[in-house]
Structure 1
Amino acid sequence: MRSVLSTSFVFGTALLAAGSAYAQAPLIPLPPSSQTAQLPPPSGPIAVPQPASSGPQIPLPASPPPPPVPARAVPQPPSGAPAQATTLQPKLAGPTVKERIRDYVGPKWSGYALIGPAYRPEYFGGNKSEVGLYGDVRVDYDGKLFAGLRDGAGLVLVDQGVLKAGPRMFYRFGREANDSAALTGLQDVDDAIELGGFMSYVWRQWEITATLGRDVSDAHDGWVGEGKMMYEMQVSPELKVKFGPSATWANQNYMRSFYGVTATEAAATGLRAYDPKSGFRDVTLGVEGEYSLDADWSLNFEARLSKILQDAADSPLVEDRGDDLQLFVGGGAKYNF
């Protein structure tokens, strides 16, 4: 046992002494070529070791290439056309005036407004003319109700397509003494509200209308009737023309108010006293035209030549200070809504 321990001690002491001598020995530097030695580049493909396979290799099918994405066709301008910007700008168009009106009153309402100048007599029967206002405003509801300056207001109670009829109210303008020097000393005739009825009949290009009304506003206290027959022609896609005759009849109260001269008025004016009777006031030949600019706007014109008849023509306001031929010409711009 002692010999084993002694041998182990001697071996360990020698091992420690050798390790100490190695640690204290100086380092011997390597030559420079050994520090920068590089491996030569490979002259061929590097063989990668493959894992061992216990069976034959089955080749996998190659994945098909993805289909090509078709290019989106870009429209090209025709040859010679100026180049256009590629940036598209959105159109911010607001509602039109017609659309605003329809949105407010509903789709069943329609109408128009017409305004322009007119060349007209100072009074119906006078021999002097003046430049005044030519115009009209009219609204319709579903073909059953209408109201306008020229046609009055009416309700269509009978509607057989070509034949329409119903009650009507009409506002008739009066006459003032200061409208003309020929009327100086005569009494004014107030504006009148007439109640009555209307009828219209359409046959091919012809339209026949008739109205009859009585003053209910204590202005002329009379009856007035009018008949008209108009023929319509489509001259071009934009232009249509209507022409035809008309006649106006009135009873004695109306005739006295507009063409009579009382004894008091005769003394003040120097005119002879005159008391007319019922009868036809005039016959008229008229022509109307409308030239459409677009769906909303048009240009309108109208001309009428009237011949005053019977007791109205014999009135001193016409025979002495006026003229039995009356000319009216007017035109203007019309907006449909």
Structure 2
Amino acid sequence: MKSRSILPIIAFIGLPSAALAQGHADQDSGLQVTISGGIVSAPSFVGDDDYQTSIFPNVTLRYGDRLEASLRGIEYTAIIGDGWKAGGILGYDFGREEAPDASDFMISGEASTDLIGLGDVDGTIEIGGFVAYEAGPFAAHFELRQGVDGGHDGLHGEARAQYRGRFDAMALPVFFGVGPKISFGDDAYNSAYFDVSAAQSAASGISEYDAGGGINSYGLGANVMVPLSAQTSLIGFVDYEQLTGDVGNSSIVQERGSQDQVRAGVFLNYTF
């Protein structure tokens, strides 16, 4: 599904260390705007074994250390103290099309036809919350999102941890983060994307399947950020997930795709 391919990409843009590394003013000073552009390679939908490479634009708005808005949604940090942060999320799950058109941003790959017969999953407005903790080089993040209007009415989320550090390369500082993560969803969420009804099976040729809730994936992510100037930085990432549980066993994944999912990209950020 498109949104699940996009979210890990957005999560790596604007690392917490980026503002410090570039010498920006403290976030309490007001509004910051980050314009990003890059190239991303990712499965055409979660569970696919065919990949697309696309140009990917994004804009992130931050106000102080409390409010952030991007394609991930709007996040408001309500609690800050002793390494902890917690707040609310208003987001949007972009859904999934059974027969998407080739995107104008795609530079390699093809629009997938694997899901024809399954029908579209409409976009969904989601509300949720997050808790984050940092202690020295270690950071952890946990979030939940509940669908309230649209293609799914389920609950899903993820938990991730990172070790962060710095090294120098060619006289430039390089900031990095690496660590594990898991994702999960309840029956309603997983059914929206991984069920195959009798009618859908007849239309698509994919075996019937009834997905339940649980752990959906586990994996490892790594990213690097290189400040090029006071406003400009280069960010790269690679992200691996193994689909598991009822999602990994879905006939969509087993018959038309792969449990192994890899995403990678490079972005140029400009902040003002």
TMscore range, shorter length: 0.7 to 0.9
The TM-score, its normalising length taken from structure 2, stands at 0.81
Q: In the aligned structure 1, how far is the partner of 2:68 from the partner of 2:226?
A: 23
* Deviation of the 1:154 alpha carbon: 1.8
Give, as a single letter, the amino acid of the residue that structure 2 aligns with 1:201. Y
* Deviation of the 1:136 alpha carbon: 3.4
2:76 is aligned to 155
1:130 counterpart = 2:84: no
Query: Per residue, is there more strand in 1 or in 2?
Result: 2
Q: Is the 8 A contact 2:173 2:226 kept in 1?
A: yes
Q: In the aligned structure 2, how far is the partner of 1:318 from the partner of 1:336?
A: 39
1:38-93 Cα deviation digits (max 9, x unpaired) = xxxxxxxxxxxxxxxxxxxxxxxxxxxxxxxxxxxxxxxxxxxxxxxxxxxxxxxx
* Deviation of the 1:280 alpha carbon: 1.0
Choose which of 32, 36, 41 in structure 2 pairs with 1:119.
41
Q: Within 5 A, what are the aligned runs for 1:262-277?
A: 262-277=197-212
Q: Is the 8 A contact 1:299 1:333 kept in 2?
A: yes
* Deviation of the 1:147 alpha carbon: 1.2
**Distance change >3 Å, CA 138–CA 162, structure 1 → 2:** same
1:54 is aligned to none
Choose which of 251, 265, 272 in structure 2 pairs with 1:330.
265
Q: In the aligned structure 2, how far is the partner of 1:204 from the partner of 1:192?
A: 37
Choose which of 142, 150, 154 in structure 2 pairs with 1:222.
154
Q: Is the 8 A contact 1:134 1:331 kept in 2?
A: no
Q: Is the 8 A contact 1:134 1:330 kept in 2?
A: no
Which secondary structure state, in structure 2, belongs to the residue aligned with residue 216 of structure 1?
A: strand
Tell me which stretches of 4 or more aligned residues in structure 1 moved more than 4 Å.
Answer: none
* Deviation of the 1:133 alpha carbon: 3.2
* Deviation of the 1:218 alpha carbon: 2.6
Q: In the aligned structure 2, how far is the partner of 1:270 from the partner of 1:155?
A: 44
Unaligned runs of 5+ in 2: 1-27, 101-111
Give, as a single letter, the amino acid of the residue that structure 1 aligns with 2:217. D
* Deviation of the 1:135 alpha carbon: 4.3
Choose which of 82, 87, 90 in structure 2 pairs with 1:169.
90
Q: Is the 8 A contact 1:238 1:293 kept in 2?
A: no
Q: In the aligned structure 2, how far is the partner of 1:265 from the partner of 1:109?
A: 48
Q: In the aligned structure 1, how far is the partner of 2:82 from the partner of 2:204?
A: 53
Q: CA RMSD in A?
A: 1.5
2:174 is aligned to 239
Give, as a single letter, the amino acid of the residue that structure 2 aligns with 1:290. M
Q: Is the 8 A contact 2:187 2:213 kept in 1?
A: yes
Q: In the aligned structure 1, how far is the partner of 2:139 from the partner of 2:43?
A: 28
Which secondary structure state, in structure 1, belongs to the residue aligned with residue 114 of structure 2?
A: helix
Which secondary structure state, in structure 1, belongs to the residue aligned with residue 200 of structure 2?
A: helix
2:242 is aligned to 307
1:316 counterpart = 2:240: no
* Deviation of the 1:161 alpha carbon: 4.1
Q: In the aligned structure 2, how far is the partner of 1:239 from the partner of 1:207?
A: 18
Q: In the aligned structure 2, how far is the partner of 1:176 from the partner of 1:297?
A: 35
Q: In the aligned structure 1, how far is the partner of 2:219 from the partner of 2:36?
A: 22
* Deviation of the 1:314 alpha carbon: 0.9
Q: Within 5 A, what are the aligned runs for 1:1-337?
A: 107-150=29-72, 152-179=73-100, 180-236=112-168, 238-337=173-272
Q: In the aligned structure 1, how far is the partner of 2:236 from the partner of 2:167?
A: 15
Give, as a single letter, the amino acid of the residue that structure 2 aligns with 1:178. A
Give, as a single letter, the amino acid of the residue that structure 1 aligns with 2:159. G
Q: Is the 8 A contact 2:123 2:150 kept in 1?
A: no
1:154-179 Cα deviation digits (max 9, x unpaired) = 22211114101111112222110114
Q: In the aligned structure 2, how far is the partner of 1:220 from the partner of 1:211?
A: 18
1:248-307 Cα deviation digits (max 9, x unpaired) = 110011111111101110111122111110011111211111111111111111110110
* Deviation of the 1:194 alpha carbon: 0.9
Paired positions, count: 231
The TM-score, its normalising length taken from structure 1, stands at 0.66
